[in-house]
Amino acid sequence: MPTRTSNPRCPIRVGEPCTLCFPGARGPQDCGLVYLVQSDPELREELAARRREHHALPNR
């Protein structure tokens, strides 16, 4: 059975892969930047707006 490699998406940079840009992170699940954005209501709302815009674009 072939094994599949997982390419997690960055929850902050919408539409881009996780590049492990936060030191010590092994993926989005333990990224400090993701934690900071998700714990701030204003940043979380801005991210939600960007995701809506990204998904509304054609060819997605």
Domain coordinates in residue numbering, the chain: 29-60
Output the pLDDT for position 26: 84
Render pLDDT for 6-17 as a digit per residue (tens, 0 to 9): 778 888 888 888
Question: What is this structure's pTM?
Answer: 0.68
Higher-pLDDT residue of 52 and 22 is 52
Output the pLDDT for position 60: 53
27: left (phi over 0), alpha (psi -120 to 50) or beta: left
Render pLDDT for 20-48 as a digit per residue (tens, 0 to 9): 888 888 888 888 888 999 999 999 999 99
Of all helices (H) and strands (E), which one includes residue 36? Answer: helix 32-39
> What average pLDDT is seen over the chain?
85
